[in-house]
Amino acid sequence: MAEKFNISLAYKKALQFAKNHYENFPVVSFLIPKELRKDIAIIYWFARTADDLADEGEFTSEERITSLEKFELRFLDTINQKFEVDFDAALYNTINTHRLDIKLFLDLISAFIQDIKVTRYQSHKDLLDYCSRSANPVGRLLLQLFNIREEEAIFYSDKICTALQLTNFFQDISIDYQKGRIYIPIEELVQYDVTENDIRISNVNSNFQELMQNQIEKVEAYFSLGYKLIPYLSGLFKYEILLTIKGGEAILGKIKKNNFDVFNKRPVLNKKDILTIIIDVLKNELRFTKRNLKK
């Protein structure tokens, strides 16, 4: 049972694990209530571990799928309080304490398995289906940690997570191609007369630029809808989500500023970018507060 496992140590290691991995914004920031940071960290450990099983190391596709299937069985054992390691006990504790939806964890694993089996997407709709399991569950789990369960809030959260996932795909077009994957729908490649060879040779011609402009406009629309989640949030968590949206939009801005050349320089946020975004969010909040005081 859980008493045999060191849950506190697992949370501590998960927090360190999250801090050691690069993301556009820190996974566990000071804007997250202290009592929830360990829970976010253990969820991140779960997702990142599954992601690494799908991508890291020198293994065949069959071996990766087998590893993920074993990880899924281990997770199901975890739900039944059969733990292999301290991390499992900590994950169960988080799920049980916050009444998290188990299906969301299984959706993540299914998406990682799909990453191995599916390397091309015919339509934008197909890509959105993938995002509904690869990205949206993370946002939904975060909402559940804060006990936010309104359907509209979930809808807007999904838009943010899908936008972040697609933005990440734009950042990693070259990296993903080297792994044999293309996350731009085939229908849209054909529409703009961009071939896989163009991606292979990093050909940033006018066709590719128009294609990326179209892709980015879709994602910007998702981020725009995502702002409607903010009224459902409170405290510093509201700023965490605002910064996350702004960060995603800043990545898209860098891509446009660089004439859509995502091949020769991966668009990432540096410390100056993050500081600028933080100042922008604070200025907007100050203006909003002043307007309310005048009413």
* Sole residue written with tokens 């789990």: 141
pTM: predicted TM-score of the whole model, two decimal places: 0.91
Q: Which of 95, 117, 139 is a domain's end point?
A: 117
**Residues 293, 240 share a domain:** yes
CA distance 220 to 249: 7
Local confidence band at 293 (pLDDT 50, 70, 90 cut-offs) = very low
The CB density around residue 17, as the number of other CB atoms within 10 Å, is 18
Tokens of 8: 């506190």
pLDDT, tens digit, 9 for 90 and up, residues 93-131 = 999 999 999 999 999 999 999 999 999 999 999 999 999
Res 208 pLDDT > 50: yes
Residues 23 and 134 in one domain: no
On whether both 158 and 257 belong to a single domain, the answer is yes
Q: What is the domain extent for residue 190?
A: 120-295
Give CA–CA dist 76/83, Å, rounded. Answer: 10
Non-local CB neighbours of 294 within 8 Å, separated by 6+ positions: none
3-state SS class at 129? helix
Tokens for 25?
């914004």
Q: What percent of the chain is predicted at pLDDT more than 70?
A: 92
CA distance 182 to 120: 6
Q: Which of 87, 62, 192, 176 is nearest to 130 (CA)?
A: 176
Same domain, 145 and 276: yes
Distance CA 131, CA 181 (A): 15
pLDDT at 167: 97
Same domain, 136 and 219: yes
Number of domains in the chain: 2
We report the CATH number of the domain holding residue 239 as: 1.10.600.10
231 in the same domain as 127: yes
